[in-house]
Copies of this chain bind each other. A is one copy, B any other.
Amino acid sequence: MAGRNVFYAQSGGVTAVINASAAGLFDTIESYPDTFGQIYAGKNGILGALREELIEVSAMSAEARAGLSQTPGGAFGSCRYKLKSPNERPEQYARLLDVFRAHDIGYFFYNGGGDSQDTAHKVSTFTREQGFPVQCIGIPKTIDNDLPFTDACPGFGSVAKYVATSIREAALDVESMAESSTKVFILEVMGRHAGWIAGASGLSKADGHLAPQIILFPERVFDPEDFLKTVDAVVARDGFCAIVASEGIKNADGQFLAETGHRDAFGHAQLGGVASTLAQLVQSRLGLKYHYAIADYLQRAARHIASQTDVDQAYALGAHAARLAEAGRTAVMPIIQRLSDTPYQWALDSVELAQVANVERTMPESFITADGYGITEAARRYFLPLIQGEAFPPFHDGLPRYVRVEYTFAPKRLPAFNV
């Protein structure tokens, strides 16, 4: 006899490997047919639960299921929508409970970052208090790599591999033309609060490669004069300077660099302009020719250069979430535990959501070199295992073959709800 049904939702910014977690979860759930019933995925995350838009995972084509772990983005849709507490918005929790009851949901898997883990925790408590206990398991995911306890967050390793590869490649280009062309190249990467991604780009600087010679971390106050002096010295030494800048760097006044200096024709501050701000500074003060790239979503969607380690961990965490539920656990999150750096060995474990919720893991101070522009050996030891292995997707007609899921919805059983 099949058990209660399963609800899975993707939350927040998507990654190159979040669908691998879904694949690991689904595959493992199906291996316990006595414990779990139907699997539903929320369309656009938790909004799908509130609206009773439940995608039937069993109706997915064999091709879509097979390609799921190789496809970036959120195959079922994600959302930026945070449930408030049951006290603030009791009707939302009541609705969630109604939907869970109507579809006999006994298991809620929430695949997201810190906010989502907090929500999963609240739902676990609320449903138990209401006499319809739903086992809530968080599945970690975030390119920001800021969830505590787990060695890394799925999605991060692939971004790390992408940015390190990209700066290595672009630097070879710049270096070969620097004498008569561009001398300073800037790659802007994500990371509003922490320099995990910017830091990982430092892995490029190995095997004789010189770049990036400068990394700008949000953990360090941006000092224009010191920066310019350093750029000048690097160009004098190497002939060129490749810079990786975190979008979140701030000046001494605590202002985002992206919001300083540039204004559009209407006088509005221009956002997202760290790279162009730095470039203008380099040109106006040092008179050096520059180019810049902004990786933006390319970095977190680049499944074609995903880390096999990251894909493996994403899948394993999804699978472990299913096993935790099968073992009767609730309000927990599976994590990766690092056993050793070289060779990289890791195991699965879990932590209570109460410990996870809203705790942000910052990058250790010991990861940044004394001058503030590079990464230390400790950082390399941490980052290096996370980018190992190439998980190339299958290709068709010269491009990655990614799947798009055709949604089959479970019939609605409730009146509409105004989210």
Contacts and interface: CB of A to CB of B under 8 A. Distances in A.
Interface of A: 10, 13-14, 16, 44, 47, 71-81, 161, 164-166, 168-170, 172-177, 179-182, 185, 187, 203-204, 206-209, 260-266, 268, 270, 272-273, 275-276, 280, 284, 291-298, 300-305, 307, 384, 387-390, 392, 395-402, 404
Contacts of A298: 166, 169-170, 187, 293, 295, 298
A111 B399 CA distance: 28
A168 B270 CA distance: 27
A284 B305 contact: no
A208 B64 CA distance: 12
A170 B262 contact: no
B292 A172 contact: no
A384 B398 CA distance: 8
A402 B176 CA distance: 14
9 contacts: A161-B398, A165-B304, A169-B303, A209-B402, A262-B264, A262-B270, A268-B284, A293-B293, A384-B398
A394 to B, nearest CB: 10
Given A161-B398, A261-B264, A276-B270, A44 B180 contact: yes
Given A297-B170, A395-B390, A176 B209 contact: no
B292 A293 contact: no
B273 A265 contact: no
Nearest to A383: B398
A280 B47 CA distance: 29
A79 B291 contact: no
Given A387-B397, A389-B398, 16 more contacts: A13-B181, A14-B176, A73-B169, A73-B172, A76-B176, A78-B177, A80-B177, A166-B298, A168-B399, A168-B400, A168-B402, A170-B297, A173-B300, A174-B297, A263-B265, A384-B398
Count chain B CB atoms within 10 A of each CB in A14, A74, A297, A384 and give the residue with the most.
A297
A388 B396 CA distance: 9
Given A263-B263, A264-B262, A297-B291, A172 B47 contact: no
A419 to B, nearest CB: 10
Contacts of A169: 16, 72-73, 298, 301-304, 400, 402
Contacts of A168: 399-400, 402
A292 B272 contact: yes
A399 B273 contact: no
A204 B261 CA distance: 36
Contacts of A72: 169, 172-173
A207 B265 contact: no
Central interface residue in A261, A268, A275, A301, by most chain B CB within 10 Å:
A301
Contacts of A268: 280, 284
B297 A294 contact: no
A303 B79 CA distance: 34
Q: Which 4 A-B pairs have the closest CB atoms?
A: A73-B172, A74-B176, A387-B398, A293-B296
Contacts of A265: 260-263
A115 to B, nearest CB: 13
A385 B362 CA distance: 47
